[in-house]
Amino acid sequence: MSGAPAAASERVDLPVSGMTCAACARLIERTLAKTPGVTRAAVNFASRTATVEYDARQVRLPDFVETIEGLGYGVPEKGARPGAGEPDYRVRFLVAACLAVPLMALGMYMASPWLQLALALPVVVYSGAPFYAAAWSALRHRAANMNSLIALGTGSAFLYSLYATLHGGLHVYYEAAAVIIALILLGRMLEARARGKASEAIRALMDLQPPTARLWNDGVESEVPVERVQPGDTLVLRPGERIAVDGEVVAGESAVDESLLTGESMPVDKRPGAAVFAGTFNRSGSFRYRATKVGRGTVLQRMVELVKQAQGSRAPVARLADVVSGYFTVGVMAAAVVTFSVWLFFAPFATAMVNAVAVLIVACPCALGLATPTAIMVGTGRGAARGILIKSGEALEMAQKIRCIVLDKTGTVTEGKPRVTRISPSSGYTEAELLRLAASAERPSEHPIGRAVVEAAVARGMALEEAVGFAAQAGHGVRARVGGREVVVSRPGVTVTVDGAAAGVIEVADALKLEAAEAVRRLRALGLEVWMLTGDRSEVAGAIARQAGIEHVIAEALPDGKVDQIRRLQAGGRRVAMVGDGVNDAPALAQADLGIAMGSGADVAMEAGDITLLGGNLTAVADAIELSRRTMRVIRQNLFWAFAYNTVGIPVAAMGLLSPMLASAAMALSSVTVVMNSLRRGRR
């Protein structure tokens, strides 16, 4: 009997317009999640994005659009300008503000209620329209949200005043409804502006790719849109231009600024055979390069997708806010009813109504809904600007819980390639002469040790001689005549003999990264227990660990053994992070509570870990941990102030100590404060 076919799982990110609070996001999320074929739905109020994972055999993309639009929200078309479909808060605010100011003056002097009605009507009908429309949509789906509170509060004030006007009363509250709408619109404007700043990381990354490329075809150059470039095309790059797609240099040389990928400011020399990446900046020189990856396949676009994914995700700490705010609106409505009922025993109807309206307005849980996503947006955006890609809110939260960090040796603590570490000439030879003879003999060799000897000589500016009669013996070294003398370079240790006599020893080893000791010091200063895990021999591992300042070493561990060692550390109650190259260490990265993949522009393994460090600099591990801790501090601060605001504000309003106008100002200020706190911390 054959098994059932695998689900055709797909994932889509949809822009959503018209959301005015976190409760809107929850309504859309719950409705999408109930759709047959949907395995997961998440709606981020701060980034205005709905992420849906689904079985493509059961449901289609148009179904999601129909569901969202059926709830009263919009799905802007692909390519639409940011903010398309959102209410024009600026114009609505200007209308409300221009009419609310004279309304306040008229209300103080108890001017004609009919004049006040004439001024208040445009504010309620036009400026407040988005709130009433969203509240009606929620009511149709048997839900309540922040717009429900605003609609109830301002609607009650307006309708009571209209009733009083029609029946000859003088005590009206048109100015309260108008000022509340104006202040809430002001808060929305400031909030939208702050959210825009939080999203700058994605826009900055997207803007790095040039819109056009210079195509080279048999010596003829033509400028084409970057979308038309295909793998295999040859492109031309001049000084001061950005690279259009990922590729490989085929002619010419230059120095390229790759700081957007690695965070390193020093330009990287590029010669034929070197890899180049979309969005990086050509400082000097001109070269031709062959396109290898285009469109969404480039490293730059993969970075953009990962940052979007992270900014649309939730940290587990956000679940508390979700649960609380899910029931909050209904609870606030009940509190408003109780406030109205109690005050009705002791005061006129108008007083009871005003205090109930104040409760409805001050309790809007907008700050609660913004507390977590804005901090995540800023944190992940700042990380991306420094070459630290954090894939999700879960990874961000886990990073600050880590107390034990395990470092792979090769390519993480060490450079990952052999390098000359010491030259010991025999009597009659100098270091320079010994290195020159050995490098000249090794020049035709492709062996990594031979290449390391040649690179050391070239780095010292030596002029190498031709190797005559070159012969390589697998596992034993090379033999050649250099300047008329017979030179033998033996391996695995590099022992050099000239004309049959010992000339000296050149030590070649996988050297410690220059920043390794400083990186380990910073990790230990963060309170982390640092381990090194390697398949290398114990004596080699011990020597490297001592140089780096690592106290705990596990050596001679095979790939499966690495996983077992991670499990053993976890069994001791530790939260463990594994740092590796993201390819060979993939099983251990997956087993760890947090996988951190070290990458370079050439072969970044973005899929291997929860966090990817685009540069090879080990200090970025400490940067990532510090960033996560700082971001989680901001989230906790935001949640505290959001909860504290509502905890204090509701009883104060219920006691009649807070007018609806002051309540609306406080509500708007709380949301802006949360967002600005995230932005302020993100700049550190």
Residue positions annotated with a catalytic role: 408
Please check whether residue 453 is in contact with residue 508, taking contact to mean a CB–CB distance below 8 angstroms. Answer: yes
Measured CA to CA, the distance from residue 243 to residue 210 in angstroms comes to: 7
Amino acid identity for residue 98 in this structure: C
Measured CA to CA, the distance from residue 130 to residue 146 in angstroms comes to: 12
How far, in Å, are 370, 394, 397 from residue 634 at the CA level?
12, 15, 12
Cα-only R_g, the chain: 33
Peptide bond into 365 cis (omega under 30): no
Measured CA to CA, the distance from residue 576 to residue 399 in angstroms comes to: 9
Nearest 5°: CA angle at 190, between 638 and 332?
A: 55
Ramachandran assignment for 475, one of left (phi > 0), alpha (psi -120 to 50 degrees), beta (any other): left
What DSSP string runs through 295-354? GGGSHHHHHHHHHHHHHT---TTHHHHHHHHHHHHHHHHHHHHHHHHHHHHHS-HHHHHH
Q: For 611-650, b where at least 16 C-beta lie within 10 A, e where not — what string?
A: bbbbbbbbbbbbbbbebbbbbbebbebbbebbbebbeebb
Here the tokens at position 427 are 């009597």
Measured CA to CA, the distance from residue 478 to residue 95 in angstroms comes to: 85
Helix (H, G, I), strand (E, B) or coil at 397: helix
Cβ–Cβ contacts within 10 Å for residue 323, how many? 10
Beta strands in 2-81 (DSSP E): 9-15, 38-44, 49-55
- Strand 49-55 and strand 38-44: the pairing is antiparallel
Measured CA to CA, the distance from residue 526 to residue 520 in angstroms comes to: 10
